[in-house]
Structure 1
Amino acid sequence: MIKLIVGLGNPGSQYKKTRHNAGFLVLDRLDSSFSGSWRLESRFNSEVSEVYVSGCKVLLQKPLTFMNKSGDAVVKLAQYYKISPDEILVVHDELDFDSGVARLKKGGGHAGHNGLRDIIQKIGSRDFYRLRIGIGRPSQGKDVANYVLSAATASELSDIQDIADRVEALLPEIVKGDIVRLMTEFNSRDK
């Protein structure tokens, strides 16, 4: 069962619609769709919302620690609510997938993603679920940091919203923990 969904991104209006904030964008959609209400929780260095999905309470978290320190916020909230790594779903941008492609998976490495690297280090486990949202790679010779921190195009934002639609539709099943079966269904529906 998923009890915590973490969206990765950077705080501040200058990052709001950047590629690196795909996780925040999806969580904003889930918060709205499931009648949540973001509140600042300084003890967790996060914005947190509580939603109910098919009668199950799920916490949504947007760490306000900047991407490379996301683990600090995640571990504080997970420890406080006694949430184990296998009850966590992290939603994040993925350079290795084209825009519009998303994949659910459990475990694995960080593949150079600083937010994942910090979460793995701080919670001491790789055994959490991930929703990887494709943002594509910059063209040869372009700086990756500038690319991920640049504003997403209208087409890329539309792709992220399409993925958010899919997550919203499947969230009751995701929350109830049938993720292994859903991986096949979700992962095969890319555009």
Structure 2
Amino acid sequence: MKIIAGLGNPGSEYAATKHNVGFMLVDALADKLGIDNWQDKFDAKVAQGFLGTEKILLVKPLTYMNESGRAIGPLMNFYKLEPEDLIVVHDDMDIPAGMVRIRKKGSAGGHNGIKSVLAHLGDEHFARVRIGIGRPLPGWTVVNHVLAPFTDEDKPKIREAIDYLLPAVECIVKDDVDMAMNKYNPKKQKKKKAVEAVAETQEGGTENAAE
């Protein structure tokens, strides 16, 4: 069994804010898989279903972001799961809006929700699916930024990121996080494009020299 936990804040006033992209992805995955058996359990909204033959538990903590681990930790204990059975989806200010990164483990990187999960699990070996929300505007505090809705410019980028990550999360569950990182992390595509760009430049230079 795998737990797929999206981080965010409960309540309609937070639903469309940047801090709630974890909730957004979990909701999108539930819609795609036809999972609608939500119930309250261990300070979280939880719903069970299957991805292929793998049983999954979708989780949206109701503890508010900074106490996310207070919901996830007891759920992990109740189902007797290891950290490697957990996938956490969350926002990341260090990535431009709409960009994505999948990680196998690591520190909290300043994210209070991940800090809480780490504190309750006592182990960093769980997958993170990170959705970029960009840095605060000049004069904005971090709190202002993460609790504000996305701009009209960024909304389609976030929708595309979530659509892009749905099969990535499925890949983590059905295969493993390493395969998902190799397949869905965009850095390798960038390197490939950079190599292609250099090759095109070199070809252009050769043609120009010939002319």
The one-character-per-residue Cα deviations of 1:148-187 (angstroms, maximum 9, x if unpaired) are 0011123333222212212222343221232212202211
Partner AA of 1:61 in structure 2: V
Native 8 Å contact 1:26 1:161 kept in 2: no
Where 1:154 maps in the other structure, the secondary structure is coil
Partner of 1:149: 147
Question: How far apart, CA to CA, are the structure 1 residues paired with 2:128 and 2:116?
Answer: 14
Quote how far apart the aligned CAs of 1:115 are: 0.3
Quote how far apart the aligned CAs of 1:102 are: 0.4
TM-score normalised by length of structure 2: 0.84
Distance 1:38 1:133, change over 3 A: farther
TM-score normalised by length of structure 1: 0.92
Partner AA of 1:88 in structure 2: L
Match of 1:125 among 91, 99, 123: 123
**Residue 170 of structure 2 is aligned to residue 172 of structure 1:** yes
Question: Comparing both chains, which one has the higher relative contact order based on Cα–Cα distances under 8 Å and sequence gaps of 6 or more?
Answer: 1
Partner of 2:2: 3
Question: How far apart, CA to CA, are the structure 2 residues paired with 1:25 and 1:38?
Answer: 17
Match of 1:51 among 33, 49, 52: 49
Larger gyration radius, structure 1 or structure 2:
2
Question: How far apart, CA to CA, are the structure 2 residues paired with 1:72 and 1:15?
Answer: 19
Quote how far apart the aligned CAs of 1:38 are: 4.7
Where 2:153 maps in the other structure, the secondary structure is helix
Partner of 1:16: 15
Distance 1:47 1:38, change over 3 A: farther
How many residues are aligned here?
A: 188
RMSD: 1.6
Question: How far apart, CA to CA, are the structure 2 residues paired with 1:9 and 1:38?
Answer: 20
Native 8 Å contact 1:8 1:90 kept in 2: yes
**Residue 111 of structure 2 is aligned to residue 116 of structure 1:** no
Where 1:48 maps in the other structure, the secondary structure is strand
| Gap runs ≥5 in structure 2 | 191-211
Partner AA of 1:165 in structure 2: D
Question: How far apart, CA to CA, are the structure 2 residues paired with 1:32 and 1:82?
Answer: 27
The one-character-per-residue Cα deviations of 1:18-59 (angstroms, maximum 9, x if unpaired) are 0000100001000110011152324x1011111211121111
Native 8 Å contact 1:18 1:148 kept in 2: yes
Question: How far apart, CA to CA, are the structure 1 residues paired with 2:56 and 2:155?
Answer: 25
Partner of 1:136: 134
Question: How far apart, CA to CA, are the structure 2 residues paired with 1:115 and 1:168?
Answer: 21
Q: Which has the higher helix share?
A: 2
**Residue 24 of structure 2 is aligned to residue 25 of structure 1:** yes
Where 1:22 maps in the other structure, the secondary structure is helix
Aligned-residue sequence identity (percent) comes to 38
